[in-house]
Amino acid sequence: MGLHQTKKCTKCLVDLPLSEFYSMGNRVDSWCKECKKSKRRSKYVSTKSVDTFDRLKRCLDLLYEVENKELDAINERLEEMVVQCQKRGWQ
């Protein structure tokens, strides 16, 4: 391939110099470098968002579980106090 050859990116459809494409062995990629970078960035962001959401959901689930255990313990203590009051004749 010559020095001044161009190629059309199949993603953005812009005619660019071959230096704007990644070479893959003896061939040139079909998407230009900017389109490839854009795809990688968007995939990273979407993956990171899902990971962040999953971590947040796990944290909230754990918090909910801990709070439920604490509320159960408080409820048991209140029931014990009610029983003690009933035994003493307090209404």
pLDDT confidence of residue 1: 46
* Residues of the chain below pLDDT 50: 1
Single pTM value for the model = 0.47
What phi, psi does 14 have (nearest 5°)?
-100, 135
Can you give the pLDDT at residue 91?
Answer: 65
Q: Token pair 């660019």 is at which residue?
A: 16
